[in-house]
Structures are given as C-alpha cells and as structure tokens.
Structure 1
Amino acid sequence: MSDPFVVVGADAAGLSAASKFRREAPDREVVVFEKGRWISYAYCGMPYFIAGYVDRLSDLLSLSPSEVAERGIDLRRGREVIAVDPDAKRVTVETAEGDRFERAYGDLLVATGARADPGPFDVRGLDGAFTLHNMDAAAAIDAYVAEPEAYDPDRADVSAVDRDRTERNAAMPAPETAAVVGGGYVGVEVAEALAERGLEVRVFHRSGHLLSPFGEAVGSRVEAALEAEGVAVHTDAPVDALVGDDRIEAVEVGSGGGGASPERIPVDMAVVGVGIRPNTELLDGTGFDRGPGDAIRVDDRGRTSLPDVYAAGDCATARHAVTGEPDWTPLGLTANRAGRAIGATVAGDPTPVGDIAGTAAVKAFDTEAARVGILDPDAAEAAGFDPVRETVTAGSRSGYYPGAAETDVTLVADRDTRGLLGGSVVGTDRAAIRIDTLATAIEADMTVPEVERLDLAYAPPFSPVWDPILVAAKVLNGKIDG
C-alpha cells in the first residue's frame, strides 16, 4: 500500500494509536516499529513488582505480540527507526543485526517515549547501581535484592527479559543497604519497595522536601511516612558521586554548595531517579519544533511542525489546562489518551488529544498523595497569575466513624479571577482519589467559590458533611476576600 500509517514505538501511545486506527480504517496498513523486545507494559507498576506486591513480570503486560497481530497490526520488534525524511516521507530503519532499510509512510507517529536521565551518575558497568525505566531494569533489581539461593526465576517470566543480566544479578550477594538518589515519584516508590524487601534504605534529595512538584505540605507528610517505616530521608542533600570499582561501595553526599567536604556513606546498592529525557533523536536534522523539556512540540491534534508527522506520549508536549501553553508532563494516561486520539485523526476522524493538568498520585506505604495544576507560587506568577494559597487539615470521614484520618488539602487560586489554579491532597484514608474532584474543576475552569458550592457526596463511612475539598475551598475563598 502507498499510504501506510507508520508508528515508532510499541508502548502506551504507539499501540493505542495503532489499535484505534486499525478499527477505524481497516483497509489501510499500519506498521509499528519497536526498537527493543518489550511492548505494552506498565511502567508505573515496576516498583510494585520489586516490592513483591506483584507476583510476576508478566502481570505488568497489557498486550502480547500475538494479541497485537490478532488486531491486524504489523508489529516489528528489534527494528529501530534512526532517521526520518519528511520531504520523501520515508523512515530509515536499523535491525538488531545492524542492517538498514527504508520504509515509506503516509502518516507517521513518533511515540518513542523517554529514558532515564542519570544526571552526572554513570551506572553502566557498576554492579548494584541502577536506573529504573524499563522492564529489564525491574527484573535485574528484583534479582539483585534477593538472596541467591532464594531467588525465584519464574518472577521474570517473560521471554523478552534480558536473561543474562537477570541471572548475573541474581548470583550476587544480596545487599543490606541501599541509597535512593532523588526524592521524586520514582525515588519514593523505590524506597518503599526496597524497604519492603528488607533493606536499610536512605533517600537523598537535592531540594528541601520530597516530591517537589507536590508542594511542601505533601513532602513533609510523605517524609514522615517513610521515616516511620525505617527509611532515612536526607533533604538538601545532593549526591556528588557513586563510589566503587566493580560494585558500588558508597555514595558521596555534598553540602549543597556549603564548601564542606562530601560525606561518604557506605551502601551495597543505589537506584538513581533524578529525571527522564524525551527520546527525540530520530527527528534530528528535520528542523522539528521543540517545546518544554526538549520534547517534540505538538498542536491540539498531536501534529508536529513536520507535515503528516504526529507525536504522542513521553516524547511529546501537550497543552496545559491552566496556562494554555505547551507543557511536558510524561504520564501514562496522557500517552494512552493522545495515542488513541491520533489514531482516530489519522483514520479520518479529527480528535483532540486533550489538555493536561499534571494530575498525578503516589504512595508511601499507607500515605497517599496527589497533585494537579500549578502549585508553586513562582510558577503561577510566571504564568501571569496573582496566586493565593492555603492549606487546611480536615477529617476524611465523620469523626465518629472508624477509619477517619487527617487529610491535608492545599489549594492555589488566582486572586483576580478566583479561578482554581492547582491543588494537592495527602493523607492515609483514600486521600489520593480526591484529587479527581480538583482535576475536573480545573478542566471546567471553575472558580474557588464554585468549588465550594459543589454538591459532593456525604455519608459517614466516606466523607464528613464538609468534604476536605470543600473545607479548603471555603477557607481559601475567605482568604481571598480578606
């Protein structure tokens, strides 16, 4: 066929697009090139596999290659698209053996995701040092933390796994101490996972509180939750180096620019989670427009600046629901939703990919936290708002009903318009799911008074008469008036 839909990347965005396109345009060819062997896996579930909450690596797979084939999708694994010629509408593909060939496209979707950015730390060739951004890393970490005689190889029960890497890590003496470098999503989740596996865990975070995008109220509660379970949390503690010849021996922790000599802390393991970077190299030389985070800039239909070339998922931007400007917030729903929309658009049904608000949730043992929108006053001011912020503590259920727990809610609004800009929730009793109320309010451009008047459900087992969200809106509205 002369106008195939070519997709680069076989995970959330890529296969969502290919599946939707195949259903809507059954007479057009769709080809998916995937650099590696893994497809359609739950990246967000990997820390829970390491913790032992998930029994098998295969439990994290959404689609198998055979299931993809049954959908009529031509999936080609071990094929890396290394270049795009937008004028000739062709891609250059390299096989795992190093051979190259070209493939024409009618429409092209770049869904190449992102990769771990280890910052200044080179974990390659240093046993016991890891980043966590793919399934092979998850399998290797799971094997490394197990006692050699107790390791269950059936946990890594997927044929795509790097068996040599997994077996090599399984044969090493199990670690007793671990450093987690970075206190973001990955850092908090990995700290819990390693503590659940019996390790003595330290978290080192460069800034003053964990989970920086969630705000200080969340960071403080999560820090306390980790420490209550024996995890040592070090804030304002930038790690300068990983120390070791063949296997990691220690981390060097600096003084944050204070001039003191770095402290060397012995560890048997380190997981670096300091950031990620979008995979955009295949478009180098095409002149494509970049957006925040050096991601591929797209419009409301997922179209790039190149003709008939789309991008979605962790490699692409999206429009922020509060600012209306391009933003880069790589999350799972964003990828799946955008991929599905692009599949429909390419098939002939123009569909918006949807705005994003940075809605996210994370847990640290029994403590749940979530955030949405703009929480940082400096970021709000930079976007042209006059931010007003308030944090309240309210009960999660009626006080007399068993299980009620303190829930902290932070809301940020624009003083002039009273429009809701962002919010966070943290607590131990179904706190995280409450963020969906705020996410919906932001998408609907609601003001704080409108949020205060929401008719939220009340029953003692689920919420007090005044839900914590309503309490926070009431208090913030009063602060604006004052």
Structure 2
Amino acid sequence: MSDPFVVVGADAAGLSAASKFRREAPDREVVVFEKGRWISYAYCGMPYFIEGRVERMSNLLSLSPSEVEERGIDLRRDHEVIAVDSDTKTVAVETAEGETIEQGYDDLLVATGGRAETGSFNVRGLDGAFTLHDMNAAAAIDAYIAEPDAYDPARADVSAVDRERVDRNAAMPAPETAAIVGGGYVGVEMAEALSGRGLDVHLFQRSGHLLPPFGEAVGERVADELEAEGVAVHRGTPVKSLVGDDRIEGVALDGAADSVAADLAIVGVGIRPNTELLDGTGVETGEGGAIRTDEYGRTSLPDVYAAGDCATAVHAVTGEEAWMPLGLTANRAGRAVGATIAGDPSPVGEIAGTAVVKAFDMEAGRAGLVEEETAREAGFDPVRETVTAGSRSGYYPGAAPTDVTLVADRDTGRLIGGSIVGPDRAAIRIDTLATALEADMTVPEVERLDLAYAPPFSPVWDPILVAAKVLNGTLDEE
C-alpha cells in the first residue's frame, strides 16, 4: 500500500478531513495522529458544562475513538508529531513512551488548532488560576468550584480526562469570588457560568467595551445585562498581574494601589495557532502567525495542507487573508481538504467572521467588518448606522428591543458588516447578514430582501430591514 494521507490533530478539522477522505477514497489509508487523549470535542460547550447546563463531559464528545476506528481511520492518540520533512515526505512522531518513529505520507494535513494565550499572566503553578481551551481545563475548573464533599466525579465521565488534575482541584476549598481577565467570548460566557455556580464575579476588560469585534452597541448592552445579573464589569481596566504565591489571591490592576481579591481566576486574552511542528520547513505564515493557505487549504509546501485554528482563510468582504479561529470554519475546511485529497477539488470557502454569543438573556451576533477602524484599514470608507427595532409585532407577547448596526462602504453602497443584540432571538438573525455579505449585496438590495413576517416571529419590517432603510437614507445624503 502507498504512503497514506496523514492528519495531525484529531478534532474538528482533522477528523472532518479524515472522515470525508475515507468515504471518498475507501481504498486508501488514512492515519490520524493526536498528541493527547481527547478527540472530537465541543470546545464551545465547555462554559455550559462548567455552569452545569451540560451534565456530563461525554455530552460534549462528537466521536469516540472506537467510532473513529469503525470508520476505517487509523487513529493514534498519545502520538505527537514533532517535525515535518517535506523533502522526504515524512513526519517524526513521538510516542507516549518517548520513542520517536517516522511516518511517510502522500498528503499531509496539519490541523493542530490553537492554544490559549496567557500574555504576561503566570497561570502555570498557581492553584485556582486557569485558561479555558481544552477539556482537562474545563474538568479541573468544574472540580475546583465545587465544595470538596459535594463534587461529583461522574461529571468528568470520559477516560481521557486528567483524573489526577481533577482530583487535586476537587480537594481544594471552593472559591467564593472569581476574577475574569478579558471580555471576549470566553470572558462573557464564563461570567455567566461562574455566576450560575454562585460565585461573585468580576470581569475585567482592557478596552472601553466588551466583545470588541462585535462593536460598541453590542458591548454596552451585554455589559448592562451582566451587571443586571450581579456581575461586576470593569471596562477600561487593564489587569497588571495575578496575585498569589501558591494559590490565587486576587488581581493587581494598572494604576491601582490595591488588588481585587479573588480565589479563582480565568484568563481569556486570546489564542495563538499551534504551528511549531512546521518550524524550519520554510512554510509561509500569515495573519496571527497562522499557516498561510490557498482556496483549497494548500500551504506553500508540496502536498501539505492546513485547516482549522492553525490556518488562514480568505475574508469574504475584503478578499484578503484573514485568521478567525471559529468552529464552523474548522469543520468546513477540514471536510473540503478531505474531499480535495480524495480527488474532488473543493474550496474551503471564505469566512466573514460570523459569530454569536449570549450573556444570560442577552444574545449577540456579528459578521464582516463592524469596527470603523478595521474597515478603513481594509480600504473602505465606512458609513455606520445603529437602530433599535422590535423583535416581533409590538402587540405580540415577547417583543423586545433589538439593536442592529450595519456598516457600508460609502463609495459603492456595499454592505461590509453588521452586528445584532437583543434578548429575543437576536443572534440567529445574524445569518441573514452573513448571507448578504457572502453575496456582496448593497444596502439597497438588503433593504429589498423579502424576509418573513408573522407577529410571533417578526414585525412587518424586520429589524434588519429597518436598519438597512436607515443606512440607505444616510448613504443617499452623502
């Protein structure tokens, strides 16, 4: 048998590629290397597990190792690919026993994902301080929050879990106050989760509003919702350092003499792509240090592809390279790469950065270029309008104010971005904007969309149509 299709990484992009390839090319071999024990898990579901909405860690698994193997995929966990030689078309793999083996490939996919960025914060070695970017961290946080005599070890019901780490955290006194560093996705979702577990929560955001990629209108309403639910939101408040010797005691703030006491800290200041295994290969990298890929996921190395959180993609609005590590992006790109390598060339697709998030009863969504500065940097002359409209007919129960921000290019009238926030099914409306961005629609074209109307679902003029009408008027005045 010829050298196989080799995949590095057994999560969203990697297993999507391997599964698609196996279906399309059943006579060819596919080998997947995973450096750890966890595979195919729902990263985005971890805050809801910690909150208790998800009862068992196993509920977050998409595929088990046995299900992967039933598909005819040679899955090798505890095997870390440490180097790639594109000249000999081999990878060096380190096993759990410390042995190094060599594996040849016909085609190689790097789907190594990303890892939590910690910046200047010393998280390692400080009990009660965590980042949240893997299942072992989620299990440890869940155990740490619980009272020692009340922790249920069955919640971490997957054999891959780091049981020693979980047991160690479960034995510690339960925290009362949490400090969250960073007001992005992780920060906002964890503020709700920890509040739901009964902790007093402080959320610190360096900039003036939460969720910066969503725009100011979203950030303000999300902050108001968090504060209404008892979360102390500190905007424009950079954290200087974590305080504590063996266990977290608080956070020190820039320009403040006293620290804020806390016996739990979550650092959520971003992620970085895992690309070290390609060091020395000469592979081209792009935005964020991610691996540069073309429309089919190909890198600058022959027969080497990349997909998921470690790879770039093309932005649907700018047409330029972008790095936006999101779940659908990884799954879709992996599936496309698998099809391409099996003989059916399939583009990985463009990305618009479409994302949604919730904070208690407040929902938010964004797509495209929302911040004016970002739009200008991309070469556009942005015009932006924010409107507030009802989510349903005003007389129908449940109608709630929905803020819609639309951004257009002054010269062409093209829609280039938007955000939505509100408590009544606001987030899902972002899919309309994402579709309009993919189609390069102008604001007048968005205004003429035939969106559905019935009192339980929407007013006659959907909030998106209202926003488009207002923005179109602004463009006409220019």
Alignment TM-score, normalising by the size of structure 2: 0.99
Shift of 1:382: 1.3
Asked if the contact 1:292–1:317 (Cα under 8 Å) also holds between the matched residues in 2, the reply is yes
| 1:44-443 aligned within 5 A | 44-255=44-255, 261-443=256-438
| Residue 2 (structure 1) aligned with residue 9 (structure 2) | no
Shift of 1:365: 0.3
* Matches of 2:349 and 2:257, distance apart in 1: 46
Deviations 1:140-197 (CA, angstroms, capped at 9, x unpaired): 0000001111111100000000000001101111000000000000000001000000
Deviations 1:78-97 (CA, angstroms, capped at 9, x unpaired): 00000000010000000122
- Of the structure 1 ranges 262-271 and 448-457, higher mean CA displacement relative to structure 2 is found in 262-271
* Matches of 1:42 and 1:199, distance apart in 2: 25
Deviations 1:31-87 (CA, angstroms, capped at 9, x unpaired): 000000000000000000000000000000000000000000000000000000001
Corresponding pairs, count? 477
The unaligned stretches of length 5 or more in structure 2 are none
Deviations 1:106-137 (CA, angstroms, capped at 9, x unpaired): 00000000000111012111000000000000
* Matches of 1:78 and 1:122, distance apart in 2: 27
* Matches of 1:385 and 1:268, distance apart in 2: 46
* Matches of 1:68 and 1:440, distance apart in 2: 33
For 1:258, the equivalent position in structure 2 comes to: none
Amino acid at match of 1:449: P
For 1:467, the equivalent position in structure 2 comes to: 462
Amino acid at match of 1:275: G
For 1:453, the equivalent position in structure 2 comes to: 448
For 2:11, the equivalent position in structure 1 comes to: 11
Asked if the contact 1:5–1:29 (Cα under 8 Å) also holds between the matched residues in 2, the reply is yes
Shift of 1:262: 4.3
Aligned partner of residue 313 in structure 1, secondary structure: coil
Deviations 1:364-414 (CA, angstroms, capped at 9, x unpaired): 000000100001111111111110000000000000000000000000000
* Matches of 1:272 and 1:183, distance apart in 2: 10
* Matches of 1:242 and 1:429, distance apart in 2: 37
Deviations 1:204-241 (CA, angstroms, capped at 9, x unpaired): 01000000000000000000000011000001111101
* Matches of 2:463 and 2:340, distance apart in 1: 40
* Matches of 1:480 and 1:48, distance apart in 2: 42
Aligned partner of residue 150 in structure 1, secondary structure: coil
Amino acid at match of 1:430: R
* Matches of 1:270 and 1:412, distance apart in 2: 36
Asked if the contact 1:395–1:468 (Cα under 8 Å) also holds between the matched residues in 2, the reply is yes
Shift of 1:2: 2.1
Deviations 1:405-439 (CA, angstroms, capped at 9, x unpaired): 00000000001110000000000000000000000
Asked if the contact 1:3–1:106 (Cα under 8 Å) also holds between the matched residues in 2, the reply is yes
* Matches of 2:224 and 2:97, distance apart in 1: 50
Distance 1:481 1:262, change over 3 A: farther
Asked if the contact 1:4–1:105 (Cα under 8 Å) also holds between the matched residues in 2, the reply is yes
Amino acid at match of 2:51: A
Amino acid at match of 1:396: S
Aligned partner of residue 266 in structure 2, secondary structure: strand
* Matches of 1:284 and 1:416, distance apart in 2: 43
Deviations 1:430-478 (CA, angstroms, capped at 9, x unpaired): 0000000000000001000000000000000000000000000000000
| Residue 444 (structure 1) aligned with residue 408 (structure 2) | no
Amino acid at match of 2:326: L
| 1:23-38 aligned within 5 A | 23-38=23-38
Asked if the contact 1:151–1:170 (Cα under 8 Å) also holds between the matched residues in 2, the reply is yes
* Matches of 2:313 and 2:249, distance apart in 1: 41
Amino acid at match of 1:434: R
* Matches of 2:26 and 2:257, distance apart in 1: 61
* Matches of 2:2 and 2:241, distance apart in 1: 53
* Matches of 2:134 and 2:303, distance apart in 1: 30
* Matches of 1:125 and 1:64, distance apart in 2: 31
Aligned partner of residue 13 in structure 2, secondary structure: helix
Aligned partner of residue 309 in structure 2, secondary structure: helix
Shift of 1:14: 0.2
* Matches of 2:85 and 2:2, distance apart in 1: 16
Aligned partner of residue 136 in structure 2, secondary structure: helix
Asked if the contact 1:58–1:157 (Cα under 8 Å) also holds between the matched residues in 2, the reply is yes
The unaligned stretches of length 5 or more in structure 1 are 256-260
Aligned partner of residue 263 in structure 1, secondary structure: coil
Amino acid at match of 2:16: S
